[in-house]
Chains A and B, each alone.
Chain A
Amino acid sequence: MKVRVTVNGTTAWMEGQSIEYILEQCGYPVESVILLKDGSVVPEDDVSDNDAIELLPVASGG
Chain B
Amino acid sequence: MRCRCGRKAVYHRRQSGQQLCAICFSKSIHSKFRKTIRAHNYVEKGDTIAVGLSGGKDSTVLLHLLSDLKKDRPFEMEAIIIDEGISTYREKTIEVAIKNCEILGVEYHIYSFEKEFGVTIDACDSRVCSHCSFCGVLRRNLLNQKARELGAKKLAVGLNLDDEVQSVLMNFLRGDLFRFGRTGPSYTESPYFVPRIKPLRDILEKEVMLYAILSKIHVDHSVCPYASEAFRGDIRDFLDRMESKRPTTKYSLLRSYDRLAPYLQEQFTSTISLCSQCGEPTIDTICKTCSMLNTIKKMKER
A residues adjacent to B (C-beta < 8 A)? 20, 24, 29-34, 40-46, 56, 58-62
Contact = CB atoms under 8 A, between A and B. Distances in A.
Nearest to B233: A59
A47 B237 CA distance: 24
Contacts of A29: 240-241, 243-244
Contact of A41 (B135, B213, B220): B213
B226 interface: yes
Contacts of A33: 206
B14 A40 contact: no
24 contacts: A29-B243, A30-B14, A30-B244, A31-B244, A32-B240, A34-B213, A42-B10, A43-B1, A43-B9, A43-B10, A43-B12, A45-B12, A56-B213, A56-B221, A58-B209, A59-B223, A59-B236, A60-B56, A61-B57, A61-B58, A61-B223, A62-B54, A62-B56, A62-B227
A20 B244 contact: yes
Nearest to A61: B56
A28 B244 CA distance: 10
A33 B56 CA distance: 16
Contacts of A40: 10
Contact of A60 (B1, B22, B57): B57
A20 B247 CA distance: 13
A41 B224 contact: no
A32 B63 CA distance: 23
Contacts of B236: 32, 59
Nearest to A30: B244
Interface residues of B, number: 36
Contacts of B1: 43, 45-46
Contacts of B58: 61
B205 interface: yes
Contacts of B222: 60
Q: Which of A40, A43, A60 has the most CB of B within 10 A?
A: A60
B227 A32 contact: no
B137 interface: no
A31 B11 contact: no
Interface string B193-222: 000000000001110011001100000111
Given A41-B214, A43-B19, A34 B240 contact: no
Given A43-B1, A56-B209, A59-B236, 17 more contacts: A20-B244, A29-B240, A29-B244, A30-B244, A33-B206, A34-B206, A41-B22, A41-B213, A42-B10, A43-B11, A45-B12, A61-B223, A61-B224, A61-B227, A62-B56, A62-B132, A62-B230
